[in-house]
């Protein structure tokens, strides 16, 4: 398994962890941002992180038969974890802002599901996927992500396995430190504010 330091090095090398002034999808501000899409655009770098996460998942969750990921950020990670662990993998996508299954995907009553994400911050997307799965009678065994930057503040009440836990401070509009205020803010997220 990769160490925290090795994982962080890969994130920086691929520009998946960047610094500046960012307005997050929550509306909060930060001086760091994680864009896993940059990591995933370099498969040879991403494979080591995914392999390490798959090993952690095997150690912590041994009884699941379906991987469910929220679109769009979780699709590649979910696929790779499913491939490495030889488990069927599907994804949910938003239709009128509500996660749904499309493309012929099904969740059955006997499914034991691991929800896999790229980054967990608030846990919103993962929790929406779990609601969808539970309404269909499935059991959620746990959650996994490449990056957990929730700092224990997500509303997920089950175990989260991640490759890297990163604490990234966030600020309200009124509390932005001067050094960050001087940098032009960008909105790098995938969700509309």
- Tell me the domain boundaries of the chain: 4-181
- Say if CB 172 and CB 29 are below 8 A apart: yes
pLDDT of residue 16: 93
Q: pLDDT (tens digit, 9 = 90+) per residue, 123-140?
A: 889 999 999 999 999 999
pLDDT of residue 193: 40
Q: Give, in words, the CATH class of 4-181.
A: alpha beta
d(CA 179, CA 169): 14
Q: pLDDT (tens digit, 9 = 90+) per residue, 173-183?
A: 999 999 999 99
Q: pLDDT (tens digit, 9 = 90+) per residue, 143-158?
A: 999 999 888 778 888 8
**Mean pLDDT across the chain:** 91
Secondary structure in 3-state letters for 30-47: EEEEECHHHHHCCHHHHH
């Amino acid at each position: 398994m990769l160490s925290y330091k090795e994982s962080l090095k890969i994130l920086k090398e691929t520009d998946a962890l960047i610094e500046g002034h960012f307005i997050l999808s929550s509306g909060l501000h930060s001086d760091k941002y994680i864009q896993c899409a940059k990591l995933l655009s370099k498969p040879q770098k991403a494979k080591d992180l995914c392999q390490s996460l798959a090993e952690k998942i095997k150690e912590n969750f041994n009884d699941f038969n379906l991987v469910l990921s929220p679109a769009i950020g979780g699709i590649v990670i979910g696929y790779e974890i499913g491939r490495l662990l030889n488990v069927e993998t599907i994804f949910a996508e938003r239709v009128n802002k509500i996660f749904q299954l499309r493309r012929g995907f099904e969740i059955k009553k006997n499914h034991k599901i691991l929800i896999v994400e790229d980054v967990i911050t608030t846990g919103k997307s993962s929790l929406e996927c779990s609601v969808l799965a539970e309404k269909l009678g499935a059991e959620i065994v746990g959650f996994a992500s490449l990056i957990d930057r929730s700092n224990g503040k997500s509303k997920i009440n089950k175990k989260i396995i991640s490759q890297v836990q990163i604490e990234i401070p966030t600020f309200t509009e009124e509390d932005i430190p001067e050094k960050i205020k001087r940098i032009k803010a960008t909105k790098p997220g995938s969700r509309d504010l």
